[in-house]
Chain A
């Protein structure tokens, strides 16, 4: 299976790293407006670098393309790929609104190609385990969730994350992982209530999702957090709790004395190493779905729902009242 990558920023580089190691996948070009970035990512997976998508598609004839572009460009490129009969793996969020998402889905259906959205949290082993625990009945019936996702303010090409019209902000871009996960655990939310604070270098949101039978989830997300990238969750059921804190799973901790370190400062690097990162499992799963025709564990419909919930949160913040999710 020949796989190309469009966009060699943070996500494109991660994909390049992973497809380089993936059996049965043949890297078939990396494209970026910035030739040196395209080259760097292409070298990682032993393929050619391009600065023109059309040139790459013509030369490489890929079976599937990973769209790792800023969100506002997803629709344009997914439509282009669908028109050429190429399967698409697109980074999350699928689009900046549910209508665009629907249009992308319909275009792919018409062309008979698959559309997968990279909601990678579904492939993180800690979230997979939690969902398994919640669905197995081990913690009884799940009634309540807490989900948290904090990181530094993302830079990105040209500062596109800071432009609401391009990224959708912290709810659409970051919290959407947890929105999707909450919906995977509890279904479609009935209502959304949100409070969001935005300033330069800071975007912080508190969102409550209300599901059927009174079940609920409390989500917080933060761009501009001064600490290390942090994720936490808990799922509470009638018989128990399953919870996780990314700051409490450091299976490896390397410390270097100040006198030995190059910069002259002591180095501490706690980490949680694994055989593969979750993007590996995500892309592998999508490729297998193309080959088998099976439905993916996270679908484009799921991705569209998450976008609708994120927009409902923005609307609730504006109105100061709960908002129903319309999709």
Chain B
């Protein structure tokens, strides 16, 4: 059996740890190296697993690897993707794909030109309830979709996430893209209009930690979404991903992490929800690896990454202008 050889670039976004676990769980994958300018950060992952460390990602790209997983600060996604593509490596890039429409279209173009595949890390597509909801919609169980309401409310992150120069945006960017991608996935349509508020309401930070977005899809469906970092530190879990779908014949409610045990321990300072549902990150990695091994198109593309991230950028523009913003069709 030929193994897929993978390199990982940057553990700035700690989803990398989970993606590494998912990669290591597969017999048909070999992780040949981890590149990160901060050796301390990745030592807990390189040493126990016998994975080579690279301080310079360009050295990693010279190795005989098929693909890279990029979990850097958002601001570096474009540069890293470009160099990986030019080294003929397929790319799985953490969300948000890039920090502007132009930047993301450039990433898509360089991968196309170099003949490599670009996948955006939207693991929420692998939440079983999300997949089942899409199947129910596709079967016509709730008739035609009229409207949706989503939430991706989280606890406050720290470090580079709240440094606009590194992240490109706060809660509205960080927590819009997942649910908007699910909405694109389920409706099969794309957003054409955005109205949004973006505010700093809950924390003493210089970046948005709260927002509300109204979007309209080209097929007439409308939706509202809450991307706020509004879960207090006392909340029993990190946050949520919910989606309500209103159809002409019924309603679907998805509460992605409802599969949990309630935990009350004197060793913790708060009640906790212990999630025991299926691992969406494994689903994401399996989707990437299987596609590359079988020579198939990756299941979630750079275009998918573009379509939902551009909604967040339009949301910031709308919030600034106080009115709706139109998105031009890319097709």
Contact surface of A with B, Cβ cutoff 8 Å: 139, 143-144, 146, 191, 193, 195, 197, 199, 202, 204, 206, 208, 210, 214-216, 218, 220, 222, 225-227, 236-241, 320-322
Q: Which residues of B contact A322 (CB under 8 A)?
A: 195, 322-323
Q: Which residues of A contact B250 (CB under 8 A)?
A: 226
- If A204-B246, A218-B226 touch, whether A197 touches B251 (CB-CB below 8 Å) is no
Question: Is there an interface contact between A208 and B224, defined as CB atoms closer than 8 Å?
Answer: yes
Q: Which residues of B contact A191 (CB under 8 A)?
A: 322
Question: Is there an interface contact between B235 and A241, defined as CB atoms closer than 8 Å?
Answer: yes
Asked if B45 is at the interface (CB within 8 A of a chain A CB), the reply is no
Question: Is there an interface contact between A197 and B147, defined as CB atoms closer than 8 Å?
Answer: yes
Q: How many residues of B contact A (CB 8 A)?
A: 34
- If A193-B195, A215-B201, A238-B203 touch, whether A321 touches B323 (CB-CB below 8 Å) is yes
Q: Which residues of A contact B244 (CB under 8 A)?
A: 220
Q: Which residues of A contact B322 (CB under 8 A)?
A: 191, 322
* Residue in B197, B200, B235, B248 whose beta carbon sits within 8 Å of that of A216 in the complex: B197
The secondary structure that dominates the A interface is strand
What are the 4 tightest A-B residue pairs by CB atom distance, in nearest-first order? Answer: A143-B201, A214-B199, A195-B222, A236-B230
* Residue in B149, B197, B232 whose beta carbon sits within 8 Å of that of A239 in the complex: B232
* Residue in A144, A195, A226, A240 whose beta carbon sits within 8 Å of that of B201 in the complex: A144
Q: Which residues of A contact B324 (CB under 8 A)?
A: 320-321
* Residue in B224, B226, B232 whose beta carbon sits within 8 Å of that of A240 in the complex: B232
Question: Is there an interface contact between A241 and B232, defined as CB atoms closer than 8 Å?
Answer: yes
- If A206-B147, A238-B202 touch, whether A218 touches B228 (CB-CB below 8 Å) is no
Q: From residue 272 to 331 of chain B, which have CB atoms closer than 8 A to chain A?
A: 322-324
- If A208-B224, A320-B324 touch, whether A195 touches B214 (CB-CB below 8 Å) is yes
**Can you list 25 pairs linking A and B with CB atoms under 8 Å apart?**
A195-B147, A197-B246, A204-B246, A206-B149, A206-B224, A208-B197, A208-B212, A208-B224, A214-B197, A214-B200, A215-B201, A216-B199, A216-B210, A218-B212, A220-B149, A222-B246, A227-B251, A236-B230, A236-B232, A238-B201, A241-B231, A320-B193, A321-B323, A322-B195, A322-B323
Q: Which residues of B contact A222 (CB under 8 A)?
A: 246
- If A195-B214, A226-B251 touch, whether A144 touches B323 (CB-CB below 8 Å) is no
* Residue in B193, B201, B248 whose beta carbon sits within 8 Å of that of A202 in the complex: B248
Q: Which residues of A contact B197 (CB under 8 A)?
A: 208, 210, 214, 216
Q: Give Cα A83 to B160, complex, Å.
A: 67
Q: Give Cα A204 to B223, complex, Å.
A: 12
Asked if B146 is at the interface (CB within 8 A of a chain A CB), the reply is yes
Asked if B234 is at the interface (CB within 8 A of a chain A CB), the reply is yes
Q: Which residue on B lies nearest to A195, using beta carbons?
A: B222
Contacts A216-B197, A321-B195 aside, 16 further interface pairs with beta carbons under 8 A come to A143-B210, A144-B210, A195-B222, A199-B248, A204-B147, A208-B197, A214-B200, A215-B201, A216-B199, A222-B246, A226-B250, A236-B202, A236-B230, A240-B232, A322-B322, A322-B323
Question: Is there an interface contact between B230 and A144, defined as CB atoms closer than 8 Å?
Answer: yes
Q: Which residue on A lies nearest to B215, using beta carbons?
A: A195
Cβ contacts B1-22/A at 8 Å (1 or 0 each): 0000000000000000000000
Q: From residue 196 to 227 of chain B, which have CB atoms closer than 8 A to chain A?
A: 197, 199-203, 210, 212, 214, 216, 222-224, 226
Q: Give Cα A239 to B223, complex, Å.
A: 28
Nearest CB of chain B from residue A40's CB, rounded to whole Å = 34
- If A193-B214, A208-B214, A216-B197 touch, whether A144 touches B228 (CB-CB below 8 Å) is yes
